[in-house]
Structure 1
Amino acid sequence: MRERLGRLGLGVFAAVLAVAFAAVITSLVLLATGHAPIGALTQMVDYGTGADQLAAIVNQATTYYLSAIAVAIGFRMNLFNIGVDGQYQLAALLAAAFGGEVALPNGLHQIAIVVVAMLVGSVWAGIAGVLKVTRGVSEVISTIMLNFIATGVIAYLLTPKRLGQLSGESLTTKPIDGSGQVRGFPLIPGADTKVYGLIVLAIIVGVGFQLLVSRTRFGFDLRATGRSASAAQASGVNVKKMVLIAMLLSGAVAGLVNMPVLLGEAHNYSLSTPSGIGFTGIAIALLGRNSPLGIVFTSLLWAFLDTSSNILQINNIPTSIVAIAEGVVVLSAVVAYELVRRYGLRLQQRRVGRELAAPPAGADPLPADGAQA
């Protein structure tokens, strides 16, 4: 227990160190461009703590969280799933088209749409998994290419002759009926912006991921394979099977990324559907150390920075400052976690050395030099 608390403390220290270093670098950039760092930060905090902005931050953090969990599943297996963006975009299109075409009772309708999204994301990620286990193709290359293919498939399907329809001057899928929508709820009484109802789904995904990884035999095999595939293979783990399952699970969670927006606000898919969330999830997963709880805080931090950047633009402060801060946070986190890891390893080596040097409990101490045995 003490050792686990020590590792947790070192992890928290590394995250705080990374954020503090990023704050220093961002402040220097602001000073170089002629802006006061304290003033800019005060504006962001004042704006970001408003009732409507807090709800918007939680909503954006929900999608970021699901994206980061999808990435983290792959990271736990030492797999780099860069294709989350294409997986959730294609899943959102087909799930929206399905939801707009079918008529199901309330409750069953929402569940069916979510299941379709998970299946589409899982199948699209599974292509990369199959290529890796059968042909040895790197998942980094295959998922990047699948992102481009997904963009082409979406452009092909989202036409009036297929899954799309003209809504004003834009192409969208058929709107989802009320039975397929999920209502939000106010985060703070009196706020106009509501929190997505499917935030509950994100919580379930996070808890399920933690239980799967830390409390099941599959989770043990997953972590063992990620640390050393050869050692896991020698102990009887089917590494190829684990790789494929991990990619399928990662894709299934990726398919959920746009569901809070689709069912809670947009109710259809269009070309204005947010993109790039998959790549943001990679940074958030890295900063959160692939931990569901750590990803919660990093998702909220990212959402706060993105939402609060609006006030900077209003006050003629370049919003690219926020992008610089986010990038520096990730780079700082990589360095800080490595330094902390090495420090923790030295502490562990010293502790083991002391334990080996100490006499066993109940044993007579060694006689001093010159003393008779």
Structure 2
Amino acid sequence: MSQERLLRLGLAISAPLLALVAAFAITSLVLIAAGDPVGEVWSTILSVPASRNFANIVNNATVLYLSGIAVAVGFRMNLFNIGVDGQYRVAAFIAAVVAGEAWLPGHLNTVLAIAAAMLAGAMWAGIAGLLRATRGVSEVISTIMLNFIATGLVAYFLRKAAVRTPGSNTLATKEIPEGSRIPNISIGDGPGQDLYGFLVIAAVVGFAYWFLLNRTRFGFDLRATGQSGTAAVASGINVRRMTIAAMLISGAVAGLVGMPILFGSAYSYGSTFQSGLGFAGIAIALLGRNNPIGIAVGALLFAYLNEQSNPLQILVGVSPDIVAITQGTIVLTVVISYEVVRRFGIRLEQQAVARALTEPPPARPSSPNEEVSA
């Protein structure tokens, strides 16, 4: 491996390591200021998870990974899609209704529900994309407003479509038939040791994201538009069409965020369906630098911290909210550390160029013809 590649690899590794060390130090200072036992907190968080906890970590990471990919599609286009939370809510509700009705047999019903979820997520995100492309409305504002609208609409229609269970206050749609559920992957004999079968589909989505952006003309146009809209227009790229397309793709992936839970454990959409998944995806996309492998690492890290925070209050007497502080600190330090490392790399390149310009050129060896003529 050449010296230049070693330097790039070292810079790439040093940024996340610097961020993690800084986040560890800042969180420790917060614990000290609060009078909490720093050693016990970290020993609990960094302990090896049990098999059941491991399954929970991977399952949670699967959901967070899809959320991160959905946000990353917009980021590559320089679009800030904060509306993943609303998009996956609408998509999960529609998928639950479609799957619960069982209009098709077996897994054909599953495919139909997943397609409906992707279509619903794409259409909900497409509203923000259309407003941005045609009226110049910031997607940040429109997606935030659409999140609130989505929450209200889903709550309203849930009351209409819910099947009420006697003696329960929980509202939920019809249960998905057993033949339409996605089988889980067992990693042990005990209860709670199953991985979502949707994990395989999530891996396919990550590969498709990488292939689309790095191996297709559309992906090149999308990245070029995100880096410089003016240059994209000059090269003949239709920026408005790319904006709408990016938001549609982002929304379609966002429509998959709730599918692992819906087809792997909940089997219906109700008032207790997991929330807040879209906002976590923003942090994970930033942490993973919009790279599918980096997003996977970020999703696993966040899922690990979430799972390990559960026994903090019981075993150590510390609020599990300290993990939220750690996660937020990691995101901030990652952004700062990548910028610091980037500037350091630019300085090294400038110094290398300066040395190359000041060094005298190597002496040209004389040829045999020149020696004879001399």
Q: TM-score, normalised by structure 1?
A: 0.92
Q: How far 1:212 sits from its partner (Å)?
A: 1.1
* 1:209 positional shift: 0.6
Q: Deviations over 1:44-77 (max 9, x none)?
A: 233x510000000000011110001100000001
Counterpart of 1:165 in 2: which secondary structure? coil
How far has the Cα of 1:259 moved from its partner? 0.1
Corresponding residue of 2:298: 298
The residue that corresponds to 1:370 in the other structure is: none
Gaps of 5+ in 2: 367-374
Matches within 5 A, 1:127-206: 127-159=127-159, 162-167=160-165, 168-188=168-188, 190=190, 192-206=192-206
In structure 2, what is the equivalent of residue 234 of structure 1? Answer: 234
Alignment of 1:101-120 (within 5 A): 101-120=101-120
Q: Give the superposition deviation at 1:355.
A: 5.3
Q: What does the per-residue CA deviation read over 1:262-321, in whole Å, with 9 as the maximum and x for residues that have no partner?
A: 001000000111111111110111111111000111111101111111110212111121
Structure 1 residues 141-150 or 314-323, which shifts more? 314-323
The whole-number CA distance in structure 2 between the counterparts of 1:62 and 1:187 is 16
Q: Which runs of 5+ in 1 are unaligned?
A: 366-373
Q: Which residue of 1 aligns with 2:264?
A: 264
Q: Residue 28 of structure 2 aligns to which amino acid in structure 1?
A: S
The residue identity in structure 2 corresponding to 1:20 is V
CA distance in 1, matches of 2:8, 2:245: 29
Offset at residue 104 of structure 1 (A): 2.1
How far apart, in 1, do the equivalents of 2:256 and 2:339 lie?
A: 32
Deviation at 1:108, TM superposition (A): 1.4
Q: 2:328: which partner in 1?
A: 327
CA shift at 1:178, angstroms? 1.1
**Cα gap change, 1:364 to 1:349, in 2 (>3 Å):** farther
In the TM superposition, residue 352 of structure 1 has moved relative to its aligned partner by 4.1
Q: Write the deviation string for residues 176-212 of structure 1: whole angstroms up to 9, x where unpaired.
A: 1012201111234556321100001110111111111
Counterpart Cα distance in 2 of 1:361 and 1:133: 56
Whichever residue aligns with residue 130 of structure 2, its letter is: V
For 2:261 and 2:6, locate their aligned partners in 1 and report how far apart those are by CA, in whole Å. Answer: 37
Q: How many Å separate the matches in 2 of 1:236 and 1:356?
A: 38
Query: In 1, Cα distance between the equivalents of 2:353 and 2:211?
Result: 30
In the alignment, what sits opposite 1:243?
243
- 8 Å Cα contact 1:132/1:138 also seen in 2: yes
Whichever residue aligns with residue 349 of structure 1, its letter is Q
TM-score normalised to the size of structure 2?
Answer: 0.92
Asked whether the 8 Å contact 1:67–1:278 carries over to 2, the reply is: yes
> 1:111, 1:196 → 2: CA distance?
16
Percent of aligned pairs with the same amino acid: 52
Structure-2 separation of matches of 1:170 and 1:102: 22
